[in-house]
Structure 1
Amino acid sequence: MKNLLIVICLIFAFILLYQIGGKLMSINKQDKIKVEPFLAFGNDRDVFFKGRVIKAYTQKRPSSRNNWFSNIISAAKRYSGSSVPLAKVEITFQEKSYTVCTDENGVFELQIGDSKPSTEQNELVTFQVVEPVTRKSLIAHMEVTRYSGSMGVISDIDDTIIISHSTDIGKKFWLSISKNAYTRRPLPGVSEFYKKITDDKSLPIFYVSSSDWSLFDLIKDFLRYRHIPEGPILLKDKHINLRNIWKSGGGDHSHKLQKIELLMEMFPKMQFHLIGDSGQHDPEIYAQVIQDYPGRVKNVFVRIVGKLDASRESDLKSLHGFEHFHFFESSEEAIEIVEKESIIN
């Protein structure tokens, strides 16, 4: 294991030196830059778009046959990709165009009101970088999904659906670079539980995580491969690169509350089941949501990660809206709760 870690360090050191040397950082007219669209969803009136602008890089599709070395190379490429700050992106939707600017992390977002859905065909949004001007600015498209109804689900990702070891930096780091969407493991029974809580995928589900946008494709592929209900994935905006890759999924989790607030405002007539774990601050964040949005949270499901000490258990019992909380150790136990209490009619 020691030799393996040395090899990993050498690989990342080499790529980091390559990056510092300026071969990955400059943008000129020969470079390809592209938009990575992340989100295009809304209600019957408003739509929300999000994405980022990066220098395009070549990346093969992951496979369950990839070994750890191939996955490390792929992770290095993913995190060495250069985001493009202060770029201008033209967003075209329903025959109207809007120009937005990326932030220091290359991320942009736009919310449009008074935008009723088309009844004739699927709605598409188009993204194109208009500044900086290059010869190879690629156009990206994404289908817009509208959500309605009276009930939805909001779920965390790390150690809630996918094994991440978020409380152990070493294990978390190793998983993040040595595995891919097809070799990362879900929590046992997650697919069955999420099909149950979404009423066999009939309820909309939204994912909120402290992982960064560099993992967007991995999470999206993971959900599809493991037959877990898919939905919009809202991640942390702060850019993670090779220098701070070990910080992915860590730090301040207040952005989760902001993302949930966005969903609460976007779907004011919808109540939600919230799902998280005890390893980070999900229970405290969800208690704050219950307090800020009375009557909007139907149930909170919290997966117990590790063993709760007496102090942590006491803190959880004192949370606002504790009567809405259901604690479980396995997906089978969560399914039993749903069925016993007729949470999904």
Structure 2
Amino acid sequence: MTFLKKASLRFLYAVKTQFSKAKLAFGLKSGLVKSVMILPYKGFGNQHEIYFLGRVLRDRGIAASHLEDGKWKNFSKMYKRFMSWEIPNVRVKAEFQGFRQIATTDEEGYFEIQLQSQSPFHLDSTWQEVKLELLDQVVKNQGTVRTNNKVFIPLDPMGFGVISDIDDTIVPTGATRLWTMLKTTFLGNAHTRLPFPGVAEFYQALAKGKGKKDAHPFFYVSSSPWNLYDFLMEFLEVHGIPKGPLMLRDLGLSREQFIAGSHWEHKLKQVEKIFEIEKHLQFVLVGDSGQHDPEIYLQVVKDFPGRVKMIYIRDIKVSRHPDLLAIATELHSLDVPLLLIKDTGEAAAHAASQGWIPEVAIEPIQAAAEVS
């Protein structure tokens, strides 16, 4: 980065920080900010470690959506998600099985929890709850601000994990077409936005394997902003897509970058974070050809040899075929197959051939995938 760019970045970041402080001070003084909330993002861990992020924000009371909600109501909720009021420099306490950590929110209201124990945690299920409490007073008559966060911890023995992209992998978003993406994001809701045909059925079958509950746990990584977290979690639930930790990113201006992290850097970092913590799991990786999922997954294979069993790539960009052929060839030399799929039915047939889902699941998935 040139000196001029660095100077511009420092100046713009200082302006942004001062504006955020003034905005929050005005909101507190005027009464616009009447209550605050801890918004935790589902986490993951192993028998000795738990990891997740969260954010402290003004509570704007964004309720769940309904199928009959109109475009204006959808836009209003999405506006509230993006026009957030972040609460910086406050402490959040996390407690789990006698272990405690206190984290302080950054300028954007984010905090990070990473609880560690030398002795194994006591686990009776794959989903555990971590208690969270805000330790500092932000508004008058605040009262106690508490919540719980769910954290996925695999129990032995488990099968492989699945890491899936969302945009143009699970749901059509037009991520490569800005105007289309903005319209679908701001005017739709979790009910009206529909996944690709057959995805829910395939993911359900893959999660269960051949009958064992949670045989193949799911993790989701997307370049969408954290502002969409509750929307995307609701989307997964509404459409019967297996729940799992969801890793997004902050798109705002940072000290180091005009946009806080590129698609490539963000996704690679988050996928590899999952690999580092879920160190006893192998993984199937699912993405699309629209952006750089194949290149990112190739790098993951190189960084974690022997940990990737399979890569499925939804084919949405024909012009990328020469690049994909070169990547598939390199992956083959590393003993990791890449399958370029036109629809979910193709992935289901392959998964059944590997014994990952039952044969009887293929026909319903393929039937669903053919629905236009």
TM-score between the two structures when normalised by the length of structure 2: 0.78
- Does residue 1:272 correspond to 2:276, yes or no? no
Contact kept, 8 Å, 2:50 with 2:114, in 1: the verdict is: yes
CA distance in 2, matches of 1:299, 1:112: 31
Match runs of 1:216-255 below 5 Å: 216-239=229-252, 251-255=262-266
**Structure 2 gaps, min length 5:** 1-19, 254-258, 359-372
State the partner residue of 1:81: 84
State the partner residue of 1:289: 300
Match runs of 1:1-345 below 5 Å: 22=23, 26-27=27-28, 31-114=34-117, 116-119=120-123, 123-134=128-139, 135-136=141-142, 138-148=145-155, 149-198=158-207, 199=209, 201-239=214-252, 251-309=262-320, 311-321=322-332, 323-344=336-357
CA distance in 2, matches of 1:94, 1:329: 46
Contact kept, 8 Å, 1:182 with 1:222, in 2: the verdict is: yes
* Range with greater deviation from structure 2 (188-197 or 206-215): 188-197
CA distance in 2, matches of 1:180, 1:31: 27
CA distance in 1, matches of 2:228, 2:62: 13
CA distance in 2, matches of 1:81, 1:310: 40
| Counterparts in 2 of 1:36 and 1:20: CA distance versus 1, 3 Å | closer
Contact kept, 8 Å, 1:86 with 1:103, in 2: the verdict is: yes
CA-CA distance at 1:96 after TM superposition? 3.6
Contact kept, 8 Å, 1:275 with 1:300, in 2: the verdict is: yes
What value does the CA root-mean-square deviation take over the aligned residues?
2.8
After superposition, give the CA deviation of every residue in 1:211-240 in whole Å (9 maximum; x if it has no partner).
111111111111111111111111113459
After superposition, give the CA deviation of every residue in 1:50-106 in whole Å (9 maximum; x if it has no partner).
211111112232101111111011111111121222222111222343211112221
| Counterparts in 2 of 1:266 and 1:99: CA distance versus 1, 3 Å | same
CA-CA distance at 1:194 after TM superposition? 1.1
Percent of counterpart pairs with the same letter?
A: 31
CA distance in 2, matches of 1:104, 1:23: 11
CA distance in 1, matches of 2:95, 2:321: 54
SS at match of 2:130: strand
* Range with greater deviation from structure 2 (23-32 or 266-275): 23-32
TM-score between the two structures when normalised by the length of structure 1: 0.84
CA distance in 2, matches of 1:300, 1:213: 26
Contact kept, 8 Å, 2:44 with 2:245, in 1: the verdict is: yes
* Range with greater deviation from structure 2 (256-265 or 172-181): 256-265
| Counterparts in 2 of 1:262 and 1:343: CA distance versus 1, 3 Å | same
Letter in 2 for 1:130: L
Instruction: Flag the structure with higher helix content.
Output: 2
| Counterparts in 2 of 1:313 and 1:37: CA distance versus 1, 3 Å | closer
SS at match of 2:232: helix
